[in-house]
Every structure is written in structure tokens, then in C-alpha cells.
Amino acid sequence: IKLYGVIGNPIAQSMSPVMQNQEFQQFGLDAHYQPFHILEKELETAVKGMKVIGVEGFNVTSPHKTAIMPFLDKIDPLAEAIGAVNTVVRKNDEFHGYNTDGDGFIRALQADWKEDFMNERALIIGAGGAAKAIFYTLLSKGMAHIDICNRTAFKAKKLIEECPYEGKSKAISIAEAEDTLEHYNLIIQTTSIGMYPDIYKSPMSVKNLLPEAFVSDIIYNPFETALIKDAKQKGVKTQNGLGMFVYQGALAFEKWTGIAPDITRMTNIVVEQLGGNHA
């Protein structure tokens, strides 16, 4: 049996095990995906342990995505630039680190909006880890017009300044983003504002949102954030973060097995899993 898993702290909430194990079963693969609760101080020991017991691959979630990097044998250039790894693959007894979060976001956007959005004008709300993965991945693919607004302005500025990929980005305040929202046809919401239990909070007013814009909120609990509800009320097309989550997992599955898993089936089991204790 081939062993896979996910490490994080906490980890009990992770929906990856159910999603990945279903695909292993459906493709008749003799494999198992196990959640591992790993404390920060045990991270290096945990990685060594996974190496010696023969783990074939694993996902990395909060708070280990950056801290794990020194303990891996090789890091993919995009993951290196982002400064975070969410997927590890064993190759010739080496652990290679990748970041599939940004590519997962792109796949989800292509599925729900359109195949080619590289020439659109985007606004990212937030400047944390998720924003960085999405921003750097989009720029690495050649998208140029992406501005960033964040509560803490210098963090948005830093994200842009430290990005190794070329672009035409500027950091703006939330207030300025609200005032100039009609400049953007893609809004990418990456902060935790609106996440359960703060389901009535929105990071900004959509007063100036273009009717033909697309709003992507990477939150999926609740399925519909206040921002998404406001956008929908204006007739604007939206998506939540389920697609990004499913596709980042699908990309990991592909790296491990060489098989492209069934996105609909993965989405359905995650929705089912979330359904019970959902806001």
C-alpha cells in the first residue's frame, strides 16, 4: 500500500483525507491518505519520519507551509518564489516541494469564468499567504494588471516589491479600491473577512462594481459570503473557494499518481462533508 497524507496543526478539520481517499478508491489504487497532527516543534522530525517510513507524498497546511521548506530536498521555483509549499512528492527518495494553491485557483477560475483571463484587470483583497500564492502564480503566468488592497497597506506594497515576476501592480488602500472598483473586472477576495462565524462582514462595498465583472472569494464556509451575496444582488457572476480547494488537491493527486481525478466527484464529497456542520 502506498502512503500519503496531510500535515497541519490543527488537522482534524481537513477535508483532504475524505476527498483524496475517495479518488484512490475510485481509481482502484492501493493507497491511503492520512491526516497527521504535527506540532511546530516536531516538524523536522515529522518530515524525517515520513521519509524513512516511505510516505510517497503529502500535503502541507497551516502553519507548516513555509517552515517545512528547509527540510525538503528540492523546491520548485514557483513554490520558492511564493515561499510556501502545500504539496510534497517523493522522487528517487528525495522530497520535492511544490505549491499548487495558485494553479488550483487558476483552474477553478477557468472552470467557473473563462479559459483566458490573462488580459483582464484584477484586484486582490488581502496580502497574506493565500494572496501571495495567487498573486505570484498569476504573474508567473504572464498576467500583468493586478492591484492589491489590504487593511495593512505596507504588506500589500511588500508583496508587490518582493515579487520576482514582472507586472504592473500597485498597492492601494481599501477605501481607494472601493472608490475605483469599476477599474477591475476580476475581484479576488483572500482575507478571512466574512468567514464563519463572522458571516455578515464584508471587506468592502460593491457600490462601484461593474455588472460584467467576476468576483472570486476564496472562503467556502459559508458557501456564500456577504461579499458574494452583495455581488450577486448586482447580477455579478461569482464563485466561492471550494473550486480552489478541490483543484489544489486534484493537482497534488495528479503529481502523485499521474491520473487526473474526477473534479465533480471530489467537489460533491467535500460539499457533503461540509453540509452537516455548515453555517
Residue numbers 127-146 binding ligand ATR by CB under 6 A: 127-131
Find out whether 126 is annotated in a ligand binding site.
Answer: yes
Find out whether 152 is annotated in a ligand binding site.
Answer: yes
Grid cell locating 78: 514557483
**Measured on CA atoms in the order 46, 15, 122, 179, is the torsion positive or negative?**
negative
Grid cell locating 88: 510534497
Find out whether 218 is annotated in a ligand binding site.
Answer: yes
Query: Is residue 104 close enough to count as binding ligand ATR by CB under 6 A?
Result: no
| Integer Cα distance of 264 and 14 in angstroms | 19
Nearest-approach distance from CB 22 to ligand ATR, in angstroms: 25
Find out whether 57 is annotated in a ligand binding site.
Answer: no
Catalytic-labelled residue, pool 2, 65, 158, 168? 65
Which position's Cβ is nearest ligand ATR? 128
Stretch that binds ligand ATR, among 90-98, 164-172, 189-197, 270-278 (CB under 6 A): 189-197
Query: Is residue 191 close enough to count as binding ligand ATR by CB under 6 A?
Result: yes
Query: Is residue 216 close enough to count as binding ligand ATR by CB under 6 A?
Result: no
65 is catalytic: yes
Grid cell locating 223: 458557501
Compute how many residues bind ligand ATR; rule: CB under 6 A. Answer: 14
For Cα atoms 233, 238, 242, give the angle at the middle one, nearest 5 degrees.
130
Stretch that binds ligand ATR, among 40-48, 71-79, 101-109, 147-155 (CB under 6 A): 147-155
Query: Is residue 150 close enough to count as binding ligand ATR by CB under 6 A?
Result: yes
| Integer Cα distance of 217 and 197 in angstroms | 16
**CB contact burial 199-222 (16+ within 10 A = b; e otherwise):** eeebbbebeebbeebbbbbbbbbb
Find out whether 213 is annotated in a ligand binding site.
Answer: no
| Chain centre to alpha carbon of residue 37 | 20
Show Cβ contacts of residue 277 under 8 Å, excluding neighbours closer than 6 positions: none
Select 83 or 128, whichever has its Cβ closest to ligand ATR: 128
| Integer Cα distance of 222 and 266 in angstroms | 18
List residues near ligand ATR by CB under 6 A: 126-131, 150-152, 155, 190-193
Kindly list the catalytic residues.
65
